[in-house]
């Protein structure tokens, strides 16, 4: 018997106008991935080196597109039905939890199938060049992509059962995708070459990353740093890990699909101000910032919109911010400690690039989640009309919202500075490089905030605004690197440098003198671009808020 959920959700998704635009954009992008490295010399090498380079670039681009586009649909699926009231009706049908889950999972896999089908013409062009095997290369890449889509679709559906809003589901889904696909490569990069249990753990942990599996499948010529690629069969282990994780996520989600999913009983707790003086003093010492203490009144010189954002946003509470800062500071100092006392000589460039990549990944992860919904959340909930009824002007409302994001990002950046301070103290000659890296990170944070806020203001729904902000920001940070992969053939040095100027990640890596980026002079060109682009995004944000504030 056919599952009615597959037809309902798949057809409904494919009928959307944005899905048509997405399909056209993906088909164009896949074609460009092949064209930018298509051979210009009429004589082809017998070893098929150029065709392998073309296929390698295409494979990484397709994997990145899949991880960027796919998690949005399953992450918002169940939470949207629960908020709309249709999930309870679905539980009252003869369909059990297993059929409900498989119906939703197959619908998502249908969307993944559409994405993979759009890439087949470009894959056929790569195969026509010769030098790649139909079974080992082409089929192996598509099997890995299907397993990746299956794993992250099941993970996003599980996230959707716990989230209370669609934008929170999108944030957590992208966070888990980034954690398991990119950040899981970090421990192996740190401890590879050492004879410790941490090196074994890092080697096993990277088996959960599809990028590590793709690098292993593509061979030693893949993209990545030393320590990411090795002779071990990472792709084979990824097959087993992916199937095991998919099974765990599926069983977990099926057990959640019942009427208990609506039960969210929580302990009301007790306000600390109502307890004895001794208890209040003890809680202040233990917690430093007591989350159960009554907040003070808003001062006359403080923007009330900023306070409202801090108190309504989960990670805006001071207790959560201190935890985030503590984690960032410990990681920063840990990286510096590994540089000074590590048994492997990584060098300043290697450890600096790792710190830059982790900090940029943190900024890319949290900034859209903070800034994308500043305006769209108010429009979706009806709070924008209430804000207009206050004596506050539109500019002060927008500035108050931006202040809440600016202060959070400043705290995050300050928490990552101790590692750089220790590095400069140990080796004073690094002071100029560290100063430029800090400027790059600050400019990246400002650009990411204004870009996310401007893109998010264009959409009336928070989930769409968050997904679009993540897509645009990740495109700016990732797309120029595809051109960088084609350096020397077919793109010259000047062309690659012109493209990398817009990439804040490449600018920071060029400052830290990482191999592959040290030959490009991206500073101060990147600072000028980020400054001008941030100003344009600010104008878009102000213009859009004025447009939606006009009487109707």
DSSP 207-222: GG-HHHHHHHHH-TTS
Alpha-carbon gap, residue 88 to 308, rounded angstroms: 33
Supply angle C-alpha 403, 405, 411, rounded to 5.
100
Which pLDDT value is given to residue 361? 74
pLDDT band at residue 73 under the 50/70/90 scheme: confident
Q: What is the dihedral of CA 385, 388, 390, 394, to 10 degrees?
A: 140
pLDDT in tens, 334-371: 666 655 554 445 555 566 667 777 777 778 778 888 88
pLDDT in tens, 144-197: 889 999 999 999 999 988 888 777 788 788 888 878 887 777 666 666 656 666
Residues 6+ apart with CB under 8 A from 253: 101, 154, 157, 158, 161
pLDDT(15) > 60: yes
Q: Which residue has the tokens 């959070």?
A: 408
The mean-pLDDT minimum among 157-171, 234-248, 295-309, 433-447 falls in: 295-309
Which pLDDT value is given to residue 187? 67
pLDDT(46) > 60: no
Which pLDDT value is given to residue 539? 92
pLDDT in tens, 244-297: 999 999 999 998 888 888 776 665 566 666 667 776 667 666 655 666 666 666
Which pLDDT value is given to residue 538? 92
Residues 6+ apart with CB under 8 A from 309: 316, 374, 400, 401, 404
Mean pLDDT across the chain, nearest whole number? 77
Residue 47 has a CB neighbour count (10 Å cut-off) of 10
The mean-pLDDT minimum among 7-16, 71-80, 349-358, 429-438 falls in: 349-358
Which pLDDT value is given to residue 201? 72
Residues 6+ apart with CB under 8 A from 37: 50, 53, 54, 57, 485, 486, 489, 490
Phi, psi of 243 (to 5 degrees): -65, -40
Compare 454 and 317 and report the one with higher pLDDT.
454
Which pLDDT value is given to residue 430? 72
Which pLDDT value is given to residue 228? 43
Alpha-carbon gap, residue 252 to 162, rounded angstroms: 11
Percent of the chain with pLDDT over 70: 74
pLDDT(536) > 90: yes
Which pLDDT value is given to residue 528? 92
**Prior bond of 490 cis (ω within 30°):** yes
Alpha-carbon gap, residue 499 to 522, rounded angstroms: 10
Which pLDDT value is given to residue 226? 41
pLDDT(16) > 90: no
Report yes or no: 487 and 496 within 8 Å, Cβ to Cβ. Answer: yes
The mean-pLDDT minimum among 221-235, 321-335, 416-430, 462-476 falls in: 221-235
Alpha-carbon gap, residue 224 to 229, rounded angstroms: 7
Percent of the chain with pLDDT over 90: 6
The mean-pLDDT minimum among 150-164, 198-212, 407-421, 482-496 falls in: 482-496
Supply angle C-alpha 334, 321, 368, rounded to 5.
95
Which pLDDT value is given to residue 227? 40
Which pLDDT value is given to residue 451? 92
pLDDT in tens, 395-435: 888 888 888 888 888 877 777 677 677 767 766 777 787 78
Q: What is the dihedral of CA 118, 23, 178, 102, to 10 degrees?
A: -80
Average pLDDT over residues 517-527: 84
Confidence (pTM):
0.73
Structure tokens at 340: 């000074």
Phi, psi of 266 (to 5 degrees): -130, 150
Report yes or no: 152 and 71 within 8 Å, Cβ to Cβ. Answer: yes
pLDDT(221) > 60: no
Report yes or no: 506 and 500 within 8 Å, Cβ to Cβ. Answer: yes
- Look at phi and psi of residue 293 and say left if phi exceeds 0, alpha if psi is from -120 to 50, else beta: beta
Average pLDDT over residues 75-87: 85
3-state class of 67 per DSSP? helix
Phi, psi of 518 (to 5 degrees): -70, -20
């Amino acid at each position: 018997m056919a599952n009615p959920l597959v037809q309902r959700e798949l057809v409904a998704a494919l009928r959307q106008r944005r899905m048509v635009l997405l399909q056209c954009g993906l088909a164009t992008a896949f074609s460009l991935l092949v064209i930018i490295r298509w051979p210009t010399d009429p004589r082809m090498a017998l070893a098929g080196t150029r065709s392998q380079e073309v296929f390698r670039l295409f494979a990484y681009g397709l994997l990145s597109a899949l991880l960027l586009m796919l998690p949005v649909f399953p992450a918002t699926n169940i939470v949207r039905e629960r908020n709309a009231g249709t999930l309870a009706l679905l539980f009252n049908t003869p369909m059990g939890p297993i059929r409900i889950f498989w119906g939703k999972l197959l619908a998502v896999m249908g969307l993944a199938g559409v994405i993979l089908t759009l890439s087949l013409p470009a894959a056929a062009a790569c195969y026509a060049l010769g030098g790649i095997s139909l079974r080992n290369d082409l089929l192996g890449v598509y099997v890995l992509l299907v397993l990746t889509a299956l794993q992250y679709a099941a993970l996003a559906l599980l996230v959707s059962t716990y989230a209370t809003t669609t934008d929170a589901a999108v944030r957590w889904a992208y966070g888990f995708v980034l954690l398991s696909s990119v950040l899981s490569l970090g421990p192996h990069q740190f401890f590879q070459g050492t004879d410790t249990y941490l090196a074994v753990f890092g080697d096993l942990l990277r088996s959960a990353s599809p990028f590590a599996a793709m690098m292993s499948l593509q061979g030693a010529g893949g993209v990545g740093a030393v320590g990411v690629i090795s002779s071990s069969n990472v792709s084979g282990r990824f097959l087993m890990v992916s199937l095991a994780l998919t099974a765990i996520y599926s069983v977990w989600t099926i057990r959640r699909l019942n009427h208990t999913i609506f039960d969210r009983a929580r302990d009301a707790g007790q306000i600390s101000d109502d307890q004895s003086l001794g208890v209040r003093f003890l809680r202040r010492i233990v917690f430093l910032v007591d989350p159960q203490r009554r907040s003070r009144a808003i001062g006359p010189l403080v923007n009330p919109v900023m306070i409202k954002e801090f108190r309504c946003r989960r990670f805006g509470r001071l207790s959560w911010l201190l935890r985030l800062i503590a984690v960032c500071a410990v990681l920063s100092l840990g990286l510096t400690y590994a540089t000074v006392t590590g048994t492997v000589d990584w060098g300043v460039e290697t450890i600096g690039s790792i710190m830059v990549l982790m900090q940029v990944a943190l900024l890319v992860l949290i900034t859209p989640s903070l800034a994308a919904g500043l305006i769209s959340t108010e429009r979706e909930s009806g709070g924008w009309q209430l804000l207009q009824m206050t004596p506050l002007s539109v500019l002060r409302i927008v500035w108050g919202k931006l202040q809440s994001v600016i202060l959070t990002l400043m705290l995050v950046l300050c928490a990552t500075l101790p590692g750089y301070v220790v590095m400069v103290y140990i080796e004073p000659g690094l002071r100029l490089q560290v100063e430029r890296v800090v400027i790059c990170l600050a400019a990246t944070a400002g650009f990411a905030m204004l870009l996310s806020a401007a893109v998010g203001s264009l959409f009336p729904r928070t989930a769409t605004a968050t997904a679009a902000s993540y897509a645009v920001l990740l495109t700016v940070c990732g797309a120029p690197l595809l051109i960088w992969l084609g350096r020397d053939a077919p793109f010259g040095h000047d062309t690659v440098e012109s493209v990398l100027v817009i990439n804040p990640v490449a600018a920071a890596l060029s400052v830290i003198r990482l191999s592959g980026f040290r030959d490009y002079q991206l500073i101060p060109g990147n600072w000028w671009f980020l400054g001008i682009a941030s100003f344009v995004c600010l104008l878009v944000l102000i213009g859009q808020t004025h447009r939606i504030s006009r009487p109707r």
